[in-house]
């Protein structure tokens, strides 16, 4: 038996003996994930239902700008080949035994394809003289049940803007898909990554996307997420600030669009003078369900660490179920930490003013929701080139597309 198959069988054995995520799990009790069988697919020796090799499935990397390819190393790896599998999982932490560990074990059991990106300073150039690297990374499903992997490393002082998109036209694939994506990001000393993420699954899909980021001294990570709902949709981000003066800022727009959606953001501040800011805006209607969890842990010795959590929910109509859960775990005295959760409806005075300007109610509601959404996302990218990238991204129609999906989900109820 080859080592790749043995590794996958060992992961399956672990899941069957240790069990799947319990319904009483604190982190998943509001939206429990589907059972284990949904995530691991057929047995390893069963015939695969893979997309044609040239169909564009898998990871598609598109550099942006004439100098974008300088300092970018990309390797597409096949996890069914033992040597490539070893390279694919090299230096990555094991699945562990935490609350979300079953997802990691299921990923090891099913993972077939991966992409490793290394962003570095081109030979013969000083880091300070290098331009920001702009990349667009799009993922198309390869199979009806899949576990893709992305590993991204930024070397010291490198600056990068990454636009990551996950969507597909229903005409391209009519199947309901299951995806368990894991992304591992390592920012070396002084590296900066502005990460724009779009996740628009189809209504019957089941999706779990996990982002694990580790930040060295002086590194900075900024993430802006736009996500819509599905039969099951989990967005989980874990950020470890391991070096002094590291900073992380995440902002999310959650749009259940007639389905369910959950986001979890876990930040660990392990060093002095670190800072983590989390902001979420959930827009829901009718009987939709959306959950936002923010958990920050300030470790002993994290002197002058700063944490800010702001979770907001807006009921567009009906009685949606919105669960907003900020949580702080503070194990050091000299820190600054604030958190809050608020929910309500669209402000009546702003809606009235928009109607007085000649807009009908649908136009007024769309204008207000887009303004609120843009404000939340822009606060995560308050500097160039991140702010420039976000503005171009939003102006391209991404936000309008996601909001239209949300507002269209309200039509049957309104009728």
Separation of CA 210 from chain center: 6
51 lies in a domain? Answer: no
Mean pLDDT in residue range 261-273: 98
351 lies in a domain? Answer: yes
Residues 57-95: tens digit of each pLDDT = 689 998 776 555 668 999 999 998 999 999 999 999 999
pLDDT reading at 407 higher than 90: no
In the DSSP assignment, the letter for residue 299 is -
Residues 314-333: tens digit of each pLDDT = 998 888 999 999 999 999 99
Closest CA to 138 of 174, 165, 176, 169: 165
CB-CB contact of 238 with 266 (8 Å): yes
H helices within 213-360, ranges in order? Answer: 348-356
pLDDT reading at 171 higher than 90: no
Separation of CA 41 from chain center: 23
Classify the C-alpha dihedral 176-39-262-223 as positive or negative.
negative
Domain count within the chain: 1
50 lies in a domain? Answer: no
**Interatomic CA distance for residues 61 and 118, integer angstroms:** 13
Residues 281-324: tens digit of each pLDDT = 999 998 899 999 999 999 999 999 999 999 999 998 888 999 99
Full domain range(s) for residue 205? 3-43+56-414
Closest CA to 375 of 390, 354, 362, 359: 390
- Beta-ladder partners of 330: 298
**Interatomic CA distance for residues 359 and 367, integer angstroms:** 9
- Beta-ladder partners of 310: 279, 340
- The DSSP string of 54-77 is TS--EEEEEE-STTTTTTEEEEEE
Closest CA to 180 of 38, 345, 25: 38
Q: Which residues contact 376 (CB under 8 A, 6 or more apart)?
A: 251, 252, 253, 279, 280, 281, 312
Pick the residue with more confidence: 381 or 17?
A: 17
pTM above 0.85, yes or no: yes
338 lies in a domain? Answer: yes
49 lies in a domain? Answer: no
Helix 82-89 with 3-18: angle, nearest 10 deg:
60
Structure tokens at 238: 């874990």
């Amino acid at each position: 038996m080859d080592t790749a198959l043995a590794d996958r069988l060992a992961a399956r054995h672990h899941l069957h003996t240790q069990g799947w995520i319990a319904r009483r799990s604190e982190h998943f009790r509001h939206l429990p994930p589907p059972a284990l069988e949904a995530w691991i697919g057929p047995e390893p020796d069963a015939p695969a239902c893979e997309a044609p090799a040239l169909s564009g499935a898998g990871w598609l990397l598109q550099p942006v700008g004439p100098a974008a390819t300088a300092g970018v190393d990309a390797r597409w790896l096949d996890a069914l080949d033992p040597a490539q599998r070893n390279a694919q999982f090299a230096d990555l932490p094991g699945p562990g035994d935490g609350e979300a560990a079953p997802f990691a074990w299921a990923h090891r059991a099913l993972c077939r394809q991966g992409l490793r990106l290394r962003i570095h300073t081109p030979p013969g150039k000083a880091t300070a003289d290098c331009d920001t690297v702009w990349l667009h990374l799009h993922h198309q499903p390869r199979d009806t049940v899949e576990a893709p992997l992305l590993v991204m490393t930024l070397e010291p002082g490198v600056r990068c803007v990454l636009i990551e998109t996950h969507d597909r036209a229903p005409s391209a694939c009519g199947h309901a898909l299951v995806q368990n994506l894991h992304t591992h990001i390592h920012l070396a000393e002084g590296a900066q990554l502005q990460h724009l993420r779009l996740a628009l699954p189809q209504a019957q899909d089941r999706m779990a996307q996990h982002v694990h980021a580790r930040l060295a001294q002086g590194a900075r990570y900024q993430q802006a997420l736009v996500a819509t709902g599905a039969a099951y949709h989990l967005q989980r981000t874990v950020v470890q600030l391991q070096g002094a003066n590291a900073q992380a800022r995440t902002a999310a727009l959650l749009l259940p669009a007639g389905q369910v959606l959950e986001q979890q953001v876990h930040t660990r501040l392990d060093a002095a003078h670190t800072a983590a800011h989390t902001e979420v805006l959930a827009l829901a209607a009718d009987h939709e369900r959306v959950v936002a969890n923010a958990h920050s842990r300030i470790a002993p010795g994290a002197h002058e660490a700063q944490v800010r959590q702001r979770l907001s929910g807006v009921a567009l109509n009906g009685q949606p179920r919105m669960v907003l859960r900020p949580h702080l775990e503070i194990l050091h005295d000299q820190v600054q930490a604030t958190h809050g959760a608020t929910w309500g409806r669209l402000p009546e005075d702003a809606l009235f003013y928009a109607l007085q300007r000649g807009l009908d109610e649908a136009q007024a509601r769309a204008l207000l929701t887009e303004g609120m959404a843009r404000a939340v996302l822009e606060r995560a990218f308050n500097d160039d080139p991140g702010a420039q990238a976000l503005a171009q991204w939003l102006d391209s129609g991404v936000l309008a597309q996601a909001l239209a999906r949300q507002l269209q989900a309200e039509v049957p109820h309104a009728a």
